[in-house]
Structure 1
Amino acid sequence: MVKATKSGRGYRDLTVKVKTARGRKLSSKLWLERQLNDPYVKRAQVDGFRGRAAYKILELDDKFRFLVPGARVVDLGCAPGGWCQVAVPRVNALGEKSGKKVGTILGVDLQEIETIAGTELHQLDFMEDDADLKVKEWLGGKADVVMSDMAASASGHKQTDHLRIMALCEAAAYFAFDVLEVGGTFVAKVLAGGAEGDLQKLLKQKFDKVAHMKPPASRSDSSEKFVVATGFRG
């Protein structure tokens, strides 16, 4: 059902309401309503991105400028591929910008990812034994950017979810320490909750600048934010 809601200029904004169906939980109904009414979801459909998360990395890069032509990028937890899609033109992975360096993008995720032109994609559980060695082999050298949007399945327990995502973030950070070029950038999703303080201390030892940002595309009711560490010291 589509319901008109009042705006400053009259009844123009349309809100989609989902009817409760047999077997559908209230949480599923609310999630579906939020997706259908999310402006970033609608923008992603128009712009050809695979998900609203694409705008998070786009907004982060607009501020910090780490996806530059010629950059070698590793995207951990890349499914469904929105971050890779944003990176392709910005690092010139397809070589479409004449006179500009051509970058590379390596994406890894637990789920299978549909092909994206200009990227090398692999299905892998980054937390399994020796997974980092496999990624290093595929990378075949150093990286300029390591970015991670890895997230564990929600348990419903806030502290548990926080610790799980921080474990993923720390694994991504230690991988970044191994593969980043001097001057490189590390970007990762974290959840507010306290345990991120230890990671921040570690990053400040390894990078010139460490900043936190909640991009506009991140939902206001979400505890997620992103850490952006620039100027890797090696």
Structure 2
Amino acid sequence: MAGVYGKGKGGKKGNSGRGLRDLTVKVKTARGRRASSTKWLQRQLNDPYVSRAQVEGMRGRAAYKIMELDDKFRFLVNGARVVDLGCAPGGWAQVAVPRINSLGEKSGKAVGTFLGVDLQEMEPLAGAEFHVLDFMEDDADTQVKTWLGGKADVVMSDMAASSSGHKQTDHLRIMALCEAAAYFAFDVLDVGGTFVAKVLAGGAEADLQKMLKQNFDKVSYMKPPSSRSDSSEKFVVATGFRG
């Protein structure tokens, strides 16, 4: 990759093995590249979760976010029927498929169902059903319900609007997506179901929280360890849908 170099080669100081050089990858600002792009590229190259995803064959670092959320709240169980809104590139699906047993590989355990929709076309994944769809279009929720063919146990949303560069505008946009996902969850979740969605901190969460508390037994917020510390994202997990 042009303009990228490592600082030092990890050489040892003396024979003690101590004093290893800084291995942080730094990126030169190339002609025509914005400073923000250079910063993003450097952050990607030095992100341990990006490296881990590459080593473990995951489709993105976001896979570890849903993994950490499920490790705490335990909603991806054997036999669960899951709908994932904004599922590209499919990292959440990679985590969910074995946990809900949608391939039927766990003998004697219930077999789950995974349905994902996104604006982008995705590489197929065994045990998951992907569809290209703009969830914000009229009657999109009806189409998803048709594909689902019944109730869901989990509705997950990682939908995010394109960044405008204005923090408050981006916050309102993602909250609008989150609320749309919540209304869909109210319509398709079975009693006892779970709703999980990404939100951005910014002051407009009160209405969503009030709405969720009216429909679920418990509403929690969590910032997974794999979520970047400089990001304002967090996740709302609502459990025990009342129906």
TM-score under structure 1 length normalisation: 0.97
> CA 1:9–1:213 in 2, change beyond 3 Å: closer, same or farther?
farther
Where in structure 1 are there 5+ consecutive unaligned residues?
none
Structure 1 residue corresponding to 2:26, chosen from 14, 17, 21: 17
Structure 2 residue corresponding to 1:27, chosen from 22, 26, 36: 36
Is residue 191 of structure 2 the alignment partner of residue 182 of structure 1? Answer: yes
Is residue 233 of structure 2 the alignment partner of residue 230 of structure 1? Answer: no
State the aligned residue count: 233
Structure 1 residue corresponding to 2:92, chosen from 70, 83, 106: 83
The structural deviation recorded for 1:103 is: 0.4
* Matched AA of 1:3: K
Residues in 2 aligned to 1:98 and 1:12: alpha-carbon distance in whole angstroms? 50
Residues in 2 aligned to 1:75 and 1:40: alpha-carbon distance in whole angstroms? 21
* Matched AA of 2:92: W
The structural deviation recorded for 1:10 is: 2.5
Match of 1:191 in 2: 200
For residues 42-96 of structure 1, the C-alpha deviation after alignment (integer angstroms, 9 at most, x for no partner) is 0001111110000000000000000000000000000011001100100001111
Where in structure 2 are there 5+ consecutive unaligned residues?
12-16
Match of 1:122 in 2: 131
Is residue 219 of structure 2 the alignment partner of residue 210 of structure 1? Answer: yes
* Matched AA of 2:65: K
Is residue 87 of structure 2 the alignment partner of residue 48 of structure 1? Answer: no
RMSD: 1.4
Match of 1:3 in 2: 7
* Matched AA of 1:57: I
Q: Which has the larger radius of gyration?
A: 2
Structure 2 residue corresponding to 1:60, chosen from 62, 69, 78: 69
> CA 1:72–1:12 in 2, change beyond 3 Å: closer, same or farther?
farther
TM-score under structure 2 length normalisation: 0.93
Residues in 1 aligned to 2:218 and 2:18: alpha-carbon distance in whole angstroms? 45
Match of 2:144 in 1: 135
The structural deviation recorded for 1:24 is: 1.2
* Matched AA of 2:75: F
Residues in 1 aligned to 2:21 and 2:156: alpha-carbon distance in whole angstroms? 39
- Where 1:20 maps in the other structure, the secondary structure is coil
Residues in 1 aligned to 2:64 and 2:21: alpha-carbon distance in whole angstroms? 25
Match of 2:47 in 1: 38
Runs of 4+ in 1 over 3 A off after TM superposition: none
